[in-house]
Amino acid sequence: MQERKLVFILMFFIALASCKMNTSTKNSSVANERFISDNQVSEVTKQLKDSLGEASVFRVERGVRQAADLWRETDGTAEEFSTFCKTNFVADTAKLTTLFTKLERNFEIFRGYFNNIDLKLKEPLQLDGSEVEPVDMMFGGYDVSAHLNDDMFANKIAFLTALNFPFYTLEEKTALGEKWSRKEWAYARMGDMFISRVPADVQQHISQTLTAADAYISDYNIFMGKLLNNNGKQLFPEDMKLITHWGLRDELKSNYADMVNGLEKQRMIYDVMKRIIDQSIPQEVINSGKYTWNPETNKVFENGNEVAASPEPDKRYEIFLSNYKAMKQLDAYSPHYPTQLLRAFDGTMEIQQKDVVDLFTRFVSSPQVKQVAAFIEARLGRKLEPFDIWYNGFQARGTVPEEQLTAITSKKYPNAAAVEADLPNILVKLGWKPDKAKWIASLVTVDPSRGAGHAWGSGMRNDKAHLRTRIGANGMDYKGYNIAVHEFGHNTEQTITMNDVDYWILNGVPNTAFTEAVAFLFQKRDMELLGLKNPNPDDEYYTALDVFWSSYEIMGVSLVDVQVWEWLYAHPEATPAELKEAVISTAKDVWNKYYAGVLGGNDETLLGIYSHMIDYPLYLPNYPMGHLIDFQIEQQVKGKNIADEIQRMYTQGRIIPQIWMRNAVGSPISIDPLLKATEEALKALEK
């Protein structure tokens, strides 16, 4: 789950502000810059319609209006605008195809090479190596493409595109898209390219802010061997260092297999998490092994003697707040989606926020939640505790000690080169034919990651995607392997949807939940890829329960994320301390409503631990959507060749989500298949 596709998230958010505009809706700060009057628009439109006839009416009306909305006094006079439109509007079908082909080719060149520059500049921040220096942050936070949007308007390419390729709203795409040809979909995505203008300095500031947030999380590690219980005993290996929150969470999960010290270790990790959330964690123990620390009492020791320590000064929420302020700058340039919430849902996800929240709320309120919780409680032989939100005993690996798994993975993958060499074999095991597996793997490079790991796709065809994964001095441990398999799922999707989709401009997936679905598909088979597939005939039932419980957990986290962003927009002048209290209060409210009656612990803050809440603005809802999509895809591929089905479904590219799903699995995104499968699993396993 730890993909940190910073470049693509950044591109989405900035492109959203640069692209998504409803021409009938005007934000005052943008509308005030309007230079071409309505009368002038009408005059140019009439002249073009009179000369070209009825066949071009729709494109003329929308194209001239789009170009006028973007035209500023610095772009030329009204007469020059009129001349531009009459000279550059393309009515002939063949010539329009030629224009589209040339635009698409050159946009691919820009996207591909700028992506590579960004990837290289961020290497010191994201790859394992020497300490990050201030100059690395300067280069890593630099957005080399920041001025591209301005340049496209200055040289009139943006106007040429907007004039000839209409923008369609989400509502229009939903109503019309099922009957569109592939070329019509490609033309519609070309119409998304230039709809508003974001200044380069705004883009640059956003890039720097998100880079700083990513660096903060990437270097937020806890030295587990330095943690002490109340008896002064160390429970974890001396050399264990875990990133928050992913490493902590995964270590907590792994300890369900430890029948001796597992529960005590889980409670200790739980205490660490709560200290991070409320910022009572001592600064001295963050990313440092100098001191020992008892997270329950919050006492810090040096050479056995207690020393004074100071809490982290709300840095977590300072970073969160910086992201909010950076993304809010886009509001004035996003007339149709004038908040980050609208950009994240209606714009980027292309599913309305209310529909997503309704899905999540109905799911976490379902009667199946308490039924599954009772089943877990019976398996554990104890009352559930709040951290059991991460129970993973439904998975085969939940019964295999972590040490055994790490012994296998560290031997198999001593370094990044060994991981890269094995990628074709992984794909073959998942169903790809050897030649296709070799081709996909040839377009993926494995890099040792400073953080937990992420997948970075290419921006142009026949270029390489990057799998960045954490590999220790003794080889890849099981946690790293599990994450790497997830990330390789992303890389496989990225490679297929970049190279096998018929139009470059349709490359990718409808939204990030769909790439999460492939990553989950891979990750769930990590044991099978190690040759440890459990032949248990009940595996299908346990898989359904595992997906259900994982969805229950991440939906609550996502609801907190959404509500906190709503709070931020209602309190734009908030301080980091006030934001901290808002996150804690929101986490408690969501917990008390949907989790306390299941896992206990009134006023628990645990739903506020996710790192993506801090370093990726409103990314979290994509995870549970990914679980739902993944489950429906799993149902679709059952009994079929996984590779063939992925190729069939994912070569649709970036059309809107619900149409993609209907084409792929025969129905829209829904919680019902998972709820039904959960009921069936409980009945079967309780016999």
Confidence band for 33, pLDDT divided at 50, 70 and 90: low
Closest to 564 in 3D by CA, of 576, 582, 589, 581:
582
* Single-letter amino acid, residue 680: E
Query: Is residue 519 within 8 Å of 490, Cβ to Cβ?
Result: yes
pLDDT at residue 25 tops 60: no
Read off the pLDDT of each residue in 275-301 and give the average, rounded to a whole number: 97
Render pLDDT for 385-425 as a digit per residue (tens, 0 to 9): 999 999 998 876 556 788 899 999 999 999 999 999 999 99
Render pLDDT for 425-482 as a digit per residue (tens, 0 to 9): 999 999 999 999 999 999 999 999 887 788 999 999 999 999 999 898 899 999 899 9
Render pLDDT for 574-595 as a digit per residue (tens, 0 to 9): 999 999 999 999 999 999 999 9
Closest to 291 in 3D by CA, of 303, 273, 280, 279:
303
Helix (H, G, I), strand (E, B) or coil at 282: strand
Query: Is residue 163 within 8 Å of 99, Cβ to Cβ?
Result: no
Q: Which residue has the tokens 């919050």?
A: 298
Distance separating alpha carbons of residues 327 and 342, to the nearest angstrom: 12
Q: Which residue has the tokens 């890593």?
A: 140
Cα dihedral 82, 85, 86, 90 in deg (nearest 10): 180
Read off the pLDDT of each residue in 510-517 and give the average, rounded to a whole number: 87
Closest to 453 in 3D by CA, of 487, 420, 421:
487
Query: Is residue 657 within 8 Å of 670, Cβ to Cβ?
Result: no
* Single-letter amino acid, residue 317: Y
Helix (H, G, I), strand (E, B) or coil at 317: helix
Helix (H, G, I), strand (E, B) or coil at 231: coil
Distance separating alpha carbons of residues 519 and 41, to the nearest angstrom: 48
Cα dihedral 366, 674, 523, 477 in deg (nearest 10): 30
Tell me which of 86-90, 196-200, 559-563 is least confident: 196-200
Q: Give residue 634's pLDDT.
A: 87
E runs forming strands in 364-509:
444-448, 453-456, 465-469
Query: Is residue 163 within 8 Å of 88, Cβ to Cβ?
Result: yes
Closest to 246 in 3D by CA, of 612, 614, 623:
612
Render pLDDT for 233-287 as a digit per residue (tens, 0 to 9): 999 999 999 999 999 999 999 999 899 999 999 999 999 999 999 999 999 999 9
Q: Give residue 34's pLDDT.
A: 76
Closest to 485 in 3D by CA, of 439, 522, 443, 449:
522
- Helix axis angle for 622-637 and 539-570, nearest 10°, is 150
pLDDT at residue 349 tops 70: yes
The string of DSSP codes covering 354-377 is HHHHHHHHHHHTSTHHHHHHHHHH
Closest to 161 in 3D by CA, of 63, 71, 241:
63
Structure tokens at 665: 């699995």
Query: Is residue 659 within 8 Å of 644, Cβ to Cβ?
Result: no
Closest to 487 in 3D by CA, of 530, 462, 456:
456
What is the chain's percent helix, strand, coil content, to nearest 5? 65, 5, 30
Q: Average pLDDT, whole number, for the chain?
A: 91
Render pLDDT for 309-334 as a digit per residue (tens, 0 to 9): 999 999 999 999 999 999 999 998 88
Helix (H, G, I), strand (E, B) or coil at 301: strand
